[in-house]
Amino acid sequence: MDLQSIKALFLDMDGVLWHGKDPIGNLPLIFNKIQKAGVIPLFGTNNSTRTPEDYRDHLAKLGVEIEPEQVITPAVGAANLFMKDFSINARIHIFGSRALKEYLQNAGFSLVDEKADIVLVSLDKEMTYQKVAVAMKLINEGARFYATNLDNVLISENGWIPGGGVMVNAVQTCTGVSPIIIGKPNTIMMKIACQKTDLKPAEILAVGDRYDTDILGGLRAGCRTALVLSGVDSIESIAAYSEQPDMICQDLNTITDQLLADRSR
Ligand SMILES: [Mg+2]
């Protein structure tokens, strides 16, 4: 695929930029090349355990300077969606991380444990039976059920760990209700990327290590897509899908090399 028409990257992070604490490749060099190519890096993750500011700080420690506005987390997607489907007065119950609560509270929403309009479920490393019970009660009372993502597992520096899909499944099992998904493969986050950059989906290359979230989301949004082999999926694991990504690359470094090469042609 020719990358000359690409004006922005929509980068997944876990499995693309790092495995847990370990960066994948020389990130400062990779981002230098992206800058040299004149391409805007945006970050889109289904991971809801960090705020955009947390990601800025984390990337700074790895030698990459970015602005929090370049980061689109499920919390950013949720705030956007809840404003559209409800209003700033929506009462939200969160069964999820501190970062998710912090972001939605700072966005102006009220977080509640009763009489909720919305129950939002995501990865909660302090999951308890009681939290599942509260979410169940509120949904049974009429709150609408949203989930940041259905990722069943995540890769960390210690190998595979349970993902947010585990908490979502617990609530789904006891309520019989399927959630509305905010994260990839839903296109909400990609649409925000288009709005932020004023670009058409076809001018954005969605880069990720998972077919069922990153690539499928990119395809649905009308973006160009690149699967990197530095994380979850492999050529074999995606072979059965009829719609293939535009490119399959070893890692992000390979893509940035091609970005630069296609621009100097
Ligand atoms: Mg990933």
Residue 43 pLDDT: 98
Report the separation in Å between the CA atom of 207 and the middle of ligand 1, taken as the mean of its atom positions: 9
Report the separation in Å between the CA atom of 117 and the middle of ligand 1, taken as the mean of its atom positions: 30
Report the separation in Å between the CA atom of 13 and the middle of ligand 1, taken as the mean of its atom positions: 6
Report the separation in Å between the CA atom of 209 and the middle of ligand 1, taken as the mean of its atom positions: 5
Residue 184 pLDDT: 94
Residue 166 pLDDT: 97
Angle at 104 between CA 146 and CA 86, to 5 degrees: 55
Which three-class secondary structure state does DSSP give residue 145? strand
Report the separation in Å between the CA atom of 14 and the middle of ligand 1, taken as the mean of its atom positions: 4
Report the separation in Å between the CA atom of 198 and the middle of ligand 1, taken as the mean of its atom positions: 25
pLDDT along the chain (265 residues), means of 10: 93 93 95 96 93 96 97 96 96 95 96 98 96 98 96 83 95 98 95 96 97 96 97 94 97 96 86
Whether the pTM exceeds 0.85: the reply is: yes
Task: Tabulate helix, strand, coil % of the chain (nearest 5).
Answer: 40, 20, 40
Report the separation in Å between the CA atom of 15 and the middle of ligand 1, taken as the mean of its atom positions: 4
Residue 9 pLDDT: 98
Using the structure block, give the residue that is written with the tokens 């119950």: 93
Report the separation in Å between the CA atom of 38 and the middle of ligand 1, taken as the mean of its atom positions: 24
* Pairwise CA distance, residues 8 & 264, whole Å: 17
Report the separation in Å between the CA atom of 215 and the middle of ligand 1, taken as the mean of its atom positions: 10
Residue 265 pLDDT: 76
Which three-class secondary structure state does DSSP give residue 224? strand
Report the separation in Å between the CA atom of 208 and the middle of ligand 1, taken as the mean of its atom positions: 6
Report the separation in Å between the CA atom of 214 and the middle of ligand 1, taken as the mean of its atom positions: 7
Question: Nearest-CA neighbor of 260 among 35, 1, 23?
Answer: 35
Report the separation in Å between the CA atom of 141 and the middle of ligand 1, taken as the mean of its atom positions: 35
Q: What is the chain's alpha carbon radius of gyration, rounded to the nearest angstrom?
A: 18
Are the beta carbons of 66 and 36 closer than 8 angstroms? no
* Pairwise CA distance, residues 145 & 181, whole Å: 9
Residue 100 pLDDT: 94
Q: Which domains does the chain have, with CATH numbers?
A: 8-46+184-263 (3.40.50.1000), 74-181 (3.40.50.1000)
Report the separation in Å between the CA atom of 231 and the middle of ligand 1, taken as the mean of its atom positions: 7
Residue 264 pLDDT: 82
Residue 94 pLDDT: 98
